[in-house]
Amino acid sequence: MTRIPGHDRDIIEQAMYLPMVLTVLEKDRLIIDKAPFKLKEPYLNLVEETIRVVQKDLKVVKNNMRKGNMKVQQIGHDEAFTMYSFLYKGFEEQHNYFNPRIRNKVHELMEYYLYKRFKEAPPK
């Protein structure tokens, strides 16, 4: 049973997922930069602007975590699961996340930041 309220858990999970989104976007930016596009600048601009928006949101998440006395740390992983330690107001909890679930959530966030953010509310 978790002691972490749903809203705070969403913040902690954002602190897990947003750095992964940034990593994917940075790698994609390098690939686009080296790809033989005739007009690569629009693609690069889209990815770079998306990186800036994700960084801004990550800064807000980190500030919320600091204010709420929350921390998250990856403590291990294997082929199927990744284990995280959540520190919440003096309590520590360990949570296992199924790797395909992490990948799906990062995929969902990528879609949101690349084009859905212009149309809808952010995913939780």
pTM: 0.91
**Structural domain tally of the chain?**
1
Distance from the first to the final alpha carbon of the chain: 20
Instruction: Note the pLDDT tens digit of each residue in 17-70.
Output: 999 999 999 999 999 999 998 999 999 999 999 999 999 999 999 999 999 999
The bridge status of strand 70-77 relative to strand 91-98 is unpaired
1 lies in some domain: no
53 lies in some domain: yes
- Nearest CA to 24 among 114, 124, 122? 114
72 lies in some domain: yes
65 lies in some domain: yes
77 lies in some domain: yes
- Which residues constitute the domain of residue 54? 6-117
Instruction: Note the pLDDT tens digit of each residue in 88-106.
Output: 999 999 999 999 999 999 9
36 lies in some domain: yes
51 lies in some domain: yes
Residues sharing a CB contact under 8 Å with residue 75, sequence separation 6 or more, in sequence order: 83, 84, 85, 94
